[in-house]
Amino acid sequence: MSEEQLFRENTEKIGRDAAEEMHAVLVADIIPNRLQCPELADFLTQERFHVVASLIMSYSFDVDRFEIEENGKAGDSDDDDDDDDDDDDDDEDDNDDEELDQKDVDQALEELDDSEAAEDRLSRDNYFKSMVPLADTLNSNTFLVNATLKYEKSKLVMIAEKKIKKGEQIFNIYGELPNTEILRKYGYVELPSSKFDFAEILQSSIRKFFQDAFSAKFSFIKESQSKVLVDVIFETIQDSDYLAETLTEDMEEGLIADRYEIYANGELLTEMLLLLLILSSTLVAGESDGKWFKKLVRGVERKPSSDLLSFINRTILKSHQLLEDKSSLTRSSLESLKELVKLRIAEYPSHITDGTYKLPESYSHFSRKDFSEIALFGEVKCLKDVVDGKFPPSNKDTTPQFSVIDDEKFLKNLLKRKLEEQQSKSSKKQRKQ
């Protein structure tokens, strides 16, 4: 996969589609009709709009609209309410005089909803785009930052975060951004990397990995069945009442995301770890008793059985308890993580991953290709940290954040109910004999 393809993979981050949607609303309605400036609408091509938007995003600061909140200008006034009442009366009279075809009414309402929704996207945030020249005089560096812009009630204040010696450069920070985002927003990269570099594993890659694993491990599961089985596991996780009630604030949006970040030094989100723990434990449980698992997944393409859903929910419960209460992972979940990371590394250009690429030692006149290679090298480094043994990462006291246990130990707890039911059935058979 080339650098261009890798960046194209993440085009939704750029917001190009949303920007083009905004442009369409501006040139079709707001500029010619409300601003009464059709010449500007003709002049503002889509490409020019992208240039203007990029300049604003690169050099502006978002400042809270505190004046609106304080003065109540966003609220309704009594006079406005009275005017609304009068309008309602007029509307009733008009309705008495004329009956509209229901189709026309529905179409008009739909067009109104679309127009209002599009306009709302132009004004829904509570920020002013503001220029702060003094703040822009400072360079930014995620490692060397020693001053931060603070937002106070009526002003912006640049505050030193540490002692700054006479003659020492003052560094601001534009945000906790990886090099890919610094490049996208500001047109440069940090050397050798950004402190906040990360790579991503796509949800679709995780799905494909486990679909292949289920169909490879079990001869009775066809490819089409493995896809449905993985879909069922994801849907059960998404709909889990247990997770909805117990997930911490850090995971309040749930486990299922489009992509999962992997940071430097083996740091990654708990959501991904828990997801891999659930999926790998389901796979290993099936391997421990193929006959039982075959019965469990039978007919999954038509409708998953209550026994299958019950087992998945139990796996969710026990996996969450293992990770959150005991800070432990299974060996199979760790191996799944490493295999996924290796697959992701293989998608990068070979000269970035095979050790032949050398980072520039200092800044120079970089080409776009140079910029992209530096950014991609930072992503690959984050991924390699996982397979090179930096996961699990360490706590401040140097102890590992997670311990790794054998799957057999976890399966005894996970399959306890199944074993008890089997023993109960066996006892009943013996008594009958």
User: If you average pLDDT over every residue of the chain, what do you get?
Assistant: 83
Q: What is the mean pLDDT of residues 174-185?
A: 91
pLDDT in tens, 75-107: 444 444 444 444 444 444 444 444 445 555 455
- 142 pLDDT tier (thresholds 50, 70, 90): very high
Q: What pLDDT is recorded for position 125?
A: 59
Task: Tell which residue, 67, 7, 34, has the closest CA to residue 347.
Answer: 7
132 versus 270: which is more confidently predicted?
A: 270
135 versus 165: which is more confidently predicted?
A: 165
Counting every residue, how long is the chain? 433
In whole angstroms, give the CA distance from residue 227 to residue 231. Answer: 6
Q: What pLDDT is recorded for position 243?
A: 93
- 237 pLDDT tier (thresholds 50, 70, 90): very high
138 versus 73: which is more confidently predicted?
A: 138
Q: What pLDDT is recorded for position 87?
A: 46
Q: What pLDDT is recorded for position 410?
A: 97
The residue extents of the domains of the chain are 13-63+108-129, 132-175, 199-344+394-431
The answer to pTM > 0.85 is no
Tell me what percent of the residues of the chain surpass a pLDDT of 90.
60
Q: What pLDDT is recorded for position 103?
A: 57
| Distances 73 to 76, 77, 81, 83 between C-alpha atoms, Å | 8, 9, 15, 17
| CB contact burial 232-255 (16+ within 10 A = b; e otherwise) | bbbebbeebeebeeebeeebeeeb
Q: What is the mean pLDDT of residues 313-317?
A: 97
CB 284 within 8 A of CB 276: no
Q: What pLDDT is recorded for position 425?
A: 59
Report DSSP letters for 200-251, one per residue. EEEHHHHHHHHHHHHHHH-TT--HHHHHHHHHHHHHHHHT-HHHHHH--GGG
Q: Are strands 328-330 and 171-172 parallel, antiparallel or unpaired?
A: unpaired
Q: Crossing angle, helix 179-186 and helix 46-59, to 10 degrees?
A: 120
Q: What is the mean pLDDT of residues 115-122?
A: 51
Cα 180 off chain centre by: 15
